[in-house]
Every structure is written in structure tokens, then in C-alpha cells.
Amino acid sequence: MNTIGEIARRAGVSRSTVSYVLSGKRPVAEETRRRIQAVIDETGYRPNASARALREGRTHTVGLVIPPAGDRLTGTQLGFVAAVVEAAARADLDVLLSPSGGDHERSFTRIVDGRRVDGAILMEVRLDDDRVTRLQQSGLPFVTIGRTAQPTGTAWVDVDYQELISRCVGHLADLGHRHVALVNRSAHLVAAGYGPARRALAGFTAALTERGLTGVDVCCGDDPAAGEACVENLLATDPAVTAIATVNEAALPGIRRALDAAGLVVPRDFAVTGVAARQPAEDFRPPLTAADVPVEEMGTQAVALLRERIATPAAPPGHRLYRPPISLRSSTGPAARRFS
């Protein structure tokens, strides 16, 4: 394999002179530059990624900051990863995955301070997120999937969980449901100020007041077993509940099992709706009436916004808030059927 050392030997110059030609960092006499270029052309030498980055001041790599590696990613989270990777590939960019949180802060620090990437996309954003503050202070271009409580001055894409859960509750109210439950994300995420969980709760509470309903909100871990236990307990402690709205798509299979075990037929006896990626919604039985999170579009838009931030960092940061319509499937029906 040809190396800078071999190029230097054949051209009769020092390694540093070859590096200067490749990087353009210092002027090199035209005759010397031509001699080095002739050797490069003759040998077919291609500088590696590090040399390319040195020459262009770019790594052609973006960082994607994901939840801790030990956590099981939800379908939506995996969808964001896939969408970002595919969109980056179309733009001839590599993606460096970096877990954040728990024991992985050093990985995030390397993304921020190591200049191994041209920019970063940050997932799973909290309302008050010190990672966003660190990225702002670093000067590294970045985009968030999700947004802080005060997102002015940052680039982001997000789903309007507050509005969408409010619509879900309104849909249930229109069907005659008077006592409904919100199955939220985990208590840990709610306490940590995780944006979707907090905004979903705000939307649920506001919709109850607006529609004159009674309701209960419960936290639930992001897995089927937690969903099953959560709904079993909900039915035991609050049997008046006739419908659930949820933002916890990972819990959906367990929610289904708990309703089956209680002998409740969906939607005849019990209604389920919420905000979820399309695939988990369609996999629910019967298919879930839901606001489908446009995962692919959001991941693609996040990459587009990041490319804009990298190319023109002084331009106002862009953002987009998604409010997809509720896709009416088969998991919701009139409340009267349960008690007729």
C-alpha cells in the first residue's frame, strides 16, 4: 500500500512537504508540488480519511447521539437511527454512533470535544438538557430530534406530543368515553424531564379539562412486560376506565395481553389509541388508531438541517414540528358497547 513516506521517497522530498501538498496548509513551490502530484498520479495513491479531513477541514462524518447502549431501543428510536444513516449515506456522509448517559459520558465528550465529526444529531432530548448546553458552548453544529423547553436558537425536529395526545383524548371523548387513562413512559423519564413524556402529560391533562372527562395517568417502562403489569394494575385499581391513550409503543404488546387476560375485547369493550410509529401501530391487534410518527421523514429532515448548520453556521437555525393526523384503524369504538 502506498504511503506518504513512499510518496516522499519517490519525489525526493520530506514527508511534511507531501503533507503540505495534500492538506494545503502551507505553500509549496510549484515545481515541487507538480513532482509530488506526478508521483501520486503514477502510484494511484489515495489519501485516507484523516488526510482528507486535514485537507478539507471536514471529516465527512456526523455523530448520532443515541440512548445508552444497555437500553433497549424502541421501534421509533431504531427508526430514527435507520433514517439518519440512510439520509447521511445519500449525502456521502458517514455516521458515528455514540451512546450518551450513564457510563457513556466519555463517548459524548469525544463527540463534542474531539472534532471527530462535522456535526451531531442528538436524540432523546429532555426539557432541560445539559448536553444541548454543552453542544452550544462547543460551537459544533448540531440538530436535536426533540426539543428543550426553550429551543430558540437551536435546530430541531420534533413531534407535537402535547397536541397529538390532546387529539387522541378528544377522539375518545367523541366516542363517548368519559373515564380514560394515559399510559406514559417510565417514571424515570418523566422525572428527568423527557420532552415527549412531559408534553404528553400536559396535553392529556388539558384535554380532560376541555372535554369534561375524568382520567388517570400512569408511568410505564418501555417493554411489553411493563405494559402488561401497568394495565393489569390500572384495571384493578380503576375499573371505570374504558380507554387508554399512550405514547409508549414498546409497551403495546403487553397492553394487549393484559386486556386479553381481563376478557376485554378491543374495541367492543375497551379502546386503545395513542402516538406511535406506523409499524408498531399496524402490528397491534386490532391495528391501532394512532397519530403515526413520521420517523423516516424526521430523520431525513434532521440530516438536512445539520448539513445546513455545517455549511452556513451563521444562518438562523431551522426547525420543524410535526402534527400528523390520527390514522383511524380498528382499536377504538364507542364506550357504550362495554356497558350495554
> CB-based contacts of 34: which residues, under 8 Å, 6+ apart?
none
Q: State the cell numbers at 49.
A: 480519511
CA 318/CA 302 separation, integer angstroms: 10
Task: Let me know the angle formed at the C-alpha of 174 by 209 and 234, rounded to the nearest 5 degrees.
Answer: 65
Please give, one letter per residue, the 3-state secondary structure of 212-260. CCEEEEECCCCCHHHHHHHHHHHHHHCCCCCEEEECCHHHHHHHHHHHH
* β-pair type (142-145, 119-122): parallel
- Give the residue from 195, 136, 193, 199 showing the smallest Cα distance to 164: 199
pLDDT (0 to 100) of residue 101: 66
Q: Residue 292: how many CB atoms within 10 A of its CB? A: 22
Task: Let me know the angle formed at the C-alpha of 245 by 241 and 246, rounded to the nearest 5 degrees.
Answer: 125
- Helix and strand element counts for the chain (H, E): 15, 12
* Three-class secondary structure of residue 324 per DSSP: coil
- Give the tens place of pLDDT for each residue, 248-266: 999 999 999 999 999 999 9
pLDDT (0 to 100) of residue 4: 81
- Give the tens place of pLDDT for each residue, 26-70: 788 888 988 988 888 888 776 665 555 545 567 889 999 998 755
pLDDT (0 to 100) of residue 339: 43
pLDDT (0 to 100) of residue 159: 97
pLDDT (0 to 100) of residue 1: 46
Rounded to the nearest integer, the mean pLDDT of the chain is: 91
pLDDT (0 to 100) of residue 321: 98
Determine the straight-line distance between the first and last CA of the chain, rounded to whole angstroms.
80
- Give the tens place of pLDDT for each residue, 274-288: 999 999 999 999 999
CA 277/CA 74 separation, integer angstroms: 10
pLDDT (0 to 100) of residue 112: 86
The ranges of the chain with pLDDT < 70 are 1-2, 23-25, 46-57, 69-71, 101-104, 336-340
Question: Do residues 191 and 255 touch, judged by C-beta distance below 8 A?
Answer: no
Q: How far is CA 5 from CA 14, 42, 103, in A?
A: 8, 15, 40
pLDDT (0 to 100) of residue 338: 45
Backbone dihedral region for residue 140 (phi beyond 0: left; psi -120 to 50: alpha; all else: beta) = beta
Q: How far is CA 37 from CA 3, 18, 41, 44, 117, in A?
A: 14, 9, 6, 10, 28
CA 235/CA 245 separation, integer angstroms: 14
